[in-house]
Structure 1
Amino acid sequence: MSRERDGGRESGSSRGARWAIARRELRSLRSEKTIILALTIQLFIAAFSSFLVVGLVSLYDPGSVDGYRTEVAVTGDDPDTLLAVAEERDGVAAEYYDDRGAAYQAFESGRVTAVLDANRNDDGRLSVRVTAPEEGIQTTLLVVQLRDTLERVERVERERNADAGRLERAPLPVPEEVGSSPYVGFTYTVLLPLLLFLPVFISGSIAVDSLIEERQRGTLELLRVAPLSLADVIDAKLLATAGLAPIQAIAWLLLLSANGTSIAGPAALIVLVAALSLFVVAGGVAVALWAPDRRQAQLLYSVATVGALVVATVLPEHPANTVAKFAIGTPTGTTWALLGIYCLLGVAAFLALRAGVGRLDPDSL
């Protein structure tokens, strides 16, 4: 009876010590100005998303903004296709110049913002040479607008060549154009993944810095007091840091909803963020335990993060697409399977870290 009571007191004391370390870890974040600034920026983006989306979309898709028109000069010996496509687009106003020199003179004087010189090669291919300003925000907007126009010209040329039988081999069928709002596309494929993935990477960086600082100051040894082992200390710090990302994800989703951005599957998104956070933070803790100093630890963590992003590009579905599908309510079987894989990876990383810490010599830290 006495032994059981002692065991109960020891277990309660151990849990209390873990919570104390976790609270200490979270309180220490208040002194990290960089982390606080990053959180504040994310909070601002989530809180004012409906206003920011309009401005940000206008940067990468100027044609989506009512009233924006790009004045361009079209010249060359075969401008018909280019003129026809430009006439269909709301954001491009094309004027034909039969004199190439006059077109470039209009560009130099500022009457037009670009010159598109369209010529047909001997093999029948349409070649378009674009002359645009060298630098400035206007150039950025212009390039994006002209890129969409030239992509449309390319589609028209492919369809025309296929119908005329000019090709020796039949090309792949041209996919049908799908009309969609650029605001919806930007919100669910750029803004939402950014808000959900940034806390994950920041949490991993926090874990690296925290453990490296504990090692350099020698305070990690002081935390290893009865009844806590090194594994208990690492668990408390890991879970406290990994829990930040899903908490932030909940806050961001609530703010997005308040701004009119509907989220169809918030529970799945929170589980996804929690799984990725556990995986990334466990990797960050492992780096901090085995790296000799802060500089090398952060370098290894950054390289590992970039490597994970590269690996994500070969997955059947990119994590950003997974987020978008859950958010708009169109998850497929692959989407759910990848969510399960992310959860398994998070748990496996946590168990592997615990096994590695159990074999680690505390005196080597």
Structure 2
Amino acid sequence: MGSGEELLDFSGNGDPNTLSIDEPELMLLNETTTTTTTTTTPSPILGYTPNPFRIAVLSIKCLLIILIFTLSCTIRRDYFKFFVVFLVVPLFIEAGFDVFTEIHAATFGTKAQKFEYLNLSPDFELENVNFTVTDWQKDAIKDYAQVLQHYTTYTLYTSDAIFPLVSYIFSDFFFWSLLFSTTTVFFYAHKAVVRPEQIIYEPIGKSFIKIQILPILFTAINTLLAYFSVPEWIYLAVLTIVRLTALALVGVAATQIFASLFLFCRTKDELTKTSPYEQVRNSKLRLFLLVLFTIGMNVLNAPYIIWSALSLTQDINELLSFEWYLPLHFVHEMFTLHLTFYLIRPYVFLIFTLIFLNPYRRRFFRFFCACCKRN
């Protein structure tokens, strides 16, 4: 080798501080190694912290369901019993799924608890959003997942599509089942006043079983509209039927409440007053408490009814080129409030059942109140 050539010293005698990398291949290798090290840095994993508020509320829900089931076993053949049982059974299954969710929440982590209302409505003044009031049903499951995550702090609702889907199905079914079952229970409450001799022999159970077919149908429609993409004309046509049905059911309930005012004026004969059947003997009191129960429950249905009515009006505006003014920001907020009330409705129903539905109210107070036991 020539004297002008420099030899690399591998003996370890060289000074590492004086080592310089001038070869292009070595520089490229160094850059590649640095880049690889940077891109493989793992992202931080969120820790899991149980939400004590969620666990406490879920425990109260389970206790109320068990209590109502226990009271139902002590009630004889009564239309209120069938009305409540067919609504509590899906709540019982939903409570079991909520417990299953609590178990699996640890694998996904949590977010910080925020005690504030979640408004999913976009800011149309600051954002260029191509989003109409009728599009809310398309994203109902995704929006409900955000609502669940916000109030439970569990990220599994936005990380796994199965959990919000199942929760939405349970909540939407309970919403529709309550609407349809209310019209049925009013029919029997009116008949107990007008035809008390026939109410004892009515096939009450079959009526409530048959009526559950409609909530299943409308829940399936809402779920399919939210989960799959369909042509716009099919979406609008089906959604119009759904919204008109909700408005019609609330209208029927309002008519039944109005008709109840006239039934309160009917006089009872002695045979009715001394009837051994409580649903005949106290028919007017039961009807009055049912009216209060229905009014209270329909307060929670108001956001969806308002959204349905105003969104239908907006569709008519666009179809016929009318220029009716509508508070669109208010309409958008109503659907978010409707999804939020999905979480509240089961608890209100369980508490109202113990307060307003007469056979449950009497047994509940007799069991827990010493004065009522003596009387």
Higher relative contact order (CA 8 A, sep 6+): 2
Higher strand share: 1
What TM-score comes out, normalization by structure 1 length?
A: 0.27
What TM-score comes out, normalization by structure 2 length?
A: 0.27
| Rg larger in structure | 2
